[in-house]
Amino acid sequence: MAQQQKPTRLLIVDDERDLLNLLKKVLSKKCACEVALTTSSLEALELVRSWKPDVVLTDIIMPDMDGLQLLQSIAAIDATISTIIMTGYGTIEIAVQALKDGAYDFFEKPFDNNKISQVVKRALERTYLLRENLHLQQRLTSTSALTGFVGHSPPLRRTIDLLSRLGQSDATVLIRGESGTGKEVAARTIHAMSKRAEKKMITINCPALPEHILESELFGYCKGAFTGADHDKTGLFLEADGSTIFLDEIADLPLGLQTKLLRVLQEKEIQPLGQTKTFKVDVRVLAATNQDLEAKMAKGEFREDLFYRLNVMTVTLPTLTEIKEDIPLLAQHFLTMYSQEYDREGMEFTPEALQCLMRRQWKGNVRQLQNIINRAVLLSDSRKITPHELTNFEDNGKNGETQSQVPACVYQLPYRQAKEKVIGPFTSSYLRHCLTGSKGNVSAAAKISGMERQAFQRLMRRYQVDADTFRTA
């Protein structure tokens, strides 16, 4: 979490000493902030540099530098400072120019004390949020892009250090951890830090395919090996020769394939289906599981000799609860990612939202946090993410069913507009997901979606989705 907030500071600039004293008396009490006063714009700039106020409240008619020039100079020193302009000679033109130049608000004298105190409070909050988000962005920038992990907590630093050391060897590694803790990210980190990094890491999800298909995918086959095998197929182990293969959810690997995998680990060779000879392979094996392998061995569901071959080195990833202090960094990372994906730049968390994220339980770990922020960015009707957005758009269904949550403002719109506001972002995201899976092949993407190609293309044109951006060279 960010460091504890320092006392807020307000700088008031005006050439009328009586007005300065009055504003200090009113605002220091109503806004609970420290107040500094000056009758000089030049002195105000020195205070901005040395005293570092959060908000500046300045007159526009000043003897040495007018308020608009002061506004621009303050922004050049610190763009997070919120500046409020006040004048007794205000015109619409001056107000518009001040707002264009970045003023937070504009007041004409005389003004209501309660109203100006409310604006100052909001300006103080704005500055705090700007600085908090800047702080998070700076910490994100300093996070190593090589690891793919976001955070600086001691448990995560120890994990990253272990992964980097394992990257220097060719040892088989078993990556353990709860669902959603980033086991594939850990595997990619090891590969990225290894001498094999120049070649692509091959990844396969073991329970995603039936046993006979998984076997042919891993080891390949020759023409005529079985019905429908009308050509030779190179297996993933041969494809990963000289690189790394990552076997996700290894606990679900069928026993028959466990035996074949053991041979690869022991003999460094594979035998494709229908082939009488073996082929030597230089492949580093990384495996991951969220299950209790020791319990599966006791039940005879996992080979003990394979376990010890895989368990040469073990990495156990920390849960999100164990790296709780990294939640603000992770949240900001996902906020930035989805704001760009959904073209919703400028979104930010309120301090209460970050506190909400810190307080809750995360049974699904980082993946659950990611999903919640994804929904909040997609469905929020404002640029600020509050605790309401983080809880109102969660899946609340029972027995595997989900209830769609939509922003309250949608119900104030005519039906067609409301429907488009909810369905539009989803449809665009869905099209992009299908095209990502098909690597830009529209026919394949349409097949994935269950739609006719022409219907899929109509949606692409409607939501301005370009297939070329998903094609790989």
- Asked if the model's pLDDT at residue 425 lies above 80, the reply is no
pLDDT at 34: 93
Greatest pairwise CA separation for the chain in angstroms: 99
The residue type of 169 is S
- Asked if the model's pLDDT at residue 422 lies above 90, the reply is no
- Asked if the model's pLDDT at residue 66 lies above 70, the reply is yes
pLDDT at 393: 57
- Asked if the model's pLDDT at residue 229 lies above 80, the reply is no
Distance from C-alpha of 286 to C-alpha of 259, rounded to nearest angstrom: 17
The sign of the torsion formed by the CA atoms of 75, 331, 324, 189 equals negative
Distance from C-alpha of 117 to C-alpha of 412, rounded to nearest angstrom: 32
pLDDT at 143: 46
Average pLDDT in the chain: 85
pLDDT in tens, 259-269: 999 999 999 99
Of 65-69, 201-205, 301-305, minimum mean pLDDT range: 65-69
Buried b (16+ CB within 10 A) or exposed e, 440-457: ebbeebbeebebeeeebb
Distance from C-alpha of 209 to C-alpha of 228, rounded to nearest angstrom: 18
**Percentage above 90 pLDDT, the chain:** 42
Max mean pLDDT among 244-253, 334-343, 445-454, 458-467 falls in 244-253
pLDDT at 241: 93
Domain boundaries, the chain: 9-141, 154-316, 320-393, 406-473
Assigned fold of 154-316: Rossmann fold (3.40.50)
pLDDT at 383: 86
- Asked if the model's pLDDT at residue 473 lies above 70, the reply is no
Average pLDDT over residues 268-280: 86
The sign of the torsion formed by the CA atoms of 386, 387, 388, 393 equals positive
pLDDT at 92: 66
Identify the CATH number of the domain defined by range 9-141.
Answer: 3.40.50.2300
* pLDDT level of residue 408 (50, 70, 90 thresholds): low
- Asked if the model's pLDDT at residue 327 lies above 90, the reply is yes
- Asked if the model's pLDDT at residue 365 lies above 90, the reply is yes
Average pLDDT over residues 137-146: 51
The pTM score is 0.56
Is pLDDT larger for residue 387 or for residue 35? 35
- Asked if the model's pLDDT at residue 278 lies above 90, the reply is no
CB 103 within 8 A of CB 69: no
pLDDT in tens, 143-175: 445 567 888 889 998 998 899 899 989 999 999
Of 140-149, 250-259, 270-279, 295-304, minimum mean pLDDT range: 140-149
- Asked if the model's pLDDT at residue 114 lies above 60, the reply is yes
pLDDT at 89: 65
**Domain spanning 320-393: which CATH class is it, in words?**
mainly alpha
**Residue 253 corresponds to which tokens in the numbers above?**
């690997």
- Asked if the model's pLDDT at residue 388 lies above 60, the reply is yes
Average pLDDT over residues 356-380: 89
pLDDT in tens, 283-304: 999 999 999 999 999 999 999 9
Distance from C-alpha of 295 to C-alpha of 147, rounded to nearest angstrom: 31
Distance from C-alpha of 148 to C-alpha of 254, rounded to nearest angstrom: 31
- Asked if the model's pLDDT at residue 308 lies above 80, the reply is yes
Shared fold status for 154-316 and 320-393: no
Average pLDDT over residues 244-266: 92
pLDDT at 5: 54
